[in-house]
Amino acid sequence: MRKKNIKIVVAMSGGVDSSVTTWLLNKKGYNVEGIFMKNWEEDDDHNNGYCASSKDLKDAQAVCDSIGILLHKINFAEEYWNNVFEKFVNLLKIGITPNPDVLCNKEIKFKELLNFVLFNLKADYMATGHYVRRVERHKKFFLLRGIDDNKDQSYFLYHLNQFQLSKCLFPVGNLRKRQVRIIAKKYVQVVAKKKDSMGICFIGPKNFTNFLSRFIKSNPGNIVDEKGQVVGIHRGLHNYTIGQRKGLKIGGISKGNGKAWYVFKKDIKKNELFVVQGNNNISLTYKGIIVTNVVWINENPLNKIFNCMVKTRYRQSVVYSKVQVISSDSVVVIFDTPVLAVCPGQSAVFYDKHICLGGGVIEKGFILHKQ
């Protein structure tokens, strides 16, 4: 089939990566169109310091106009609220810290949006600006880490199945970020200097606590050290995650040894936040985890026990581990070297070198000593 007869719709965010993706595919001669997905009804959010999608839409439209292609718009705000945000908030309320980007990719971008692109817009493929690669070997599709280790986003896409991979393209996965910036500076100048978005667009890091206060009632309680001594007051357990150091506001207290404080446990029933000092504290050090809701990109492991590399956070380096399959969707992972600050609700993603095998949700961790 000639390239001009292959229709590719690019999921455009108004950012650098999806814009360069669009330019690259158009340059190669494909029949390219863009689609902008709105996931949040802003109301007055732009006046409260949150990111309004109107600016991103304007940028996406400007890119499409400069290339000379059509831009579709679609609103998935209701689907996002029902299938991502409500789940996110409800888990926070019970002390679990989920990853909203994993949820959004699973429920919205590679489900609702992909289906719309394929069946409503009659596209052959959907392309995104994710830093991952996909390859086909022996009629099976594999998800590979992006060439740029610092930007690799396979951690967020471990849920992709064979059909989704067969219909998705990731052009910038074969490039490094600096190369993408160079292309943008030369050919997609309207977004060339735009900063990378981090997490949920409309919840900037500085606004996260204020934003959540609109949906979760604040319930202050005691911050307690390992000895059971009260060392401060927290603003509601949903505002904290295991391993968190910043924002505790207990650094200047007279108690302690002068080292930084870190969250290591939450007690929902007592509404207490437990902290320890020092990032190498044994209470923050885990030897293994239980992972549930596990999915495999290609096929379930034939062996009940196998070795692979594991990530328990996006920015964490992979850790060599032993994985024991205990059911069709759950495993036990034992790390070769201890891992700091394992957080229930986050994803654990499995790798065989550069190949992403799959992943699941961390249910609990095993620390190096019994509390």
Query: Which residues are annotated as catalytic?
Result: 104, 201
Helices (H), the chain: 16-27, 53-67, 77-80, 86-93, 100-104, 114-115, 162-166, 177-187, 208-212
Listed in sequence order, the residues at least 6 apart from 155 whose beta carbon sits closer than 8 Å to its beta carbon are 102, 311, 314, 347, 349, 359
User: Contacts by 80-84 with C-beta closer than 8 Å and gap 24+?
Assistant: 80/39, 80/40, 80/104, 80/107, 80/108, 83/107, 83/108, 84/39, 84/108
Confirm whether residue 126 is marked as ligand binding: no
DSSP characters over 14-38: SSHHHHHHHHHHHHTT-EEEEEEEE
Confirm whether residue 232 is marked as ligand binding: no
Confirm whether residue 360 is marked as ligand binding: no
Confirm whether residue 13 is marked as ligand binding: yes
Structure tokens belonging to residue 100: 């909203």
Q: What is the DSSP letter of 189?
A: G
Confirm whether residue 278 is marked as ligand binding: no
SS3 280: coil
Confirm whether residue 14 is marked as ligand binding: yes
Residues 134 and 168: beta-carbon distance below 8 Å: yes
Confirm whether residue 17 is marked as ligand binding: yes
Confirm whether residue 129 is marked as ligand binding: yes
Write out the binding residues for ATP: 11-18, 37, 129
Residue positions forming the annotated binding site: 11-18, 37, 129
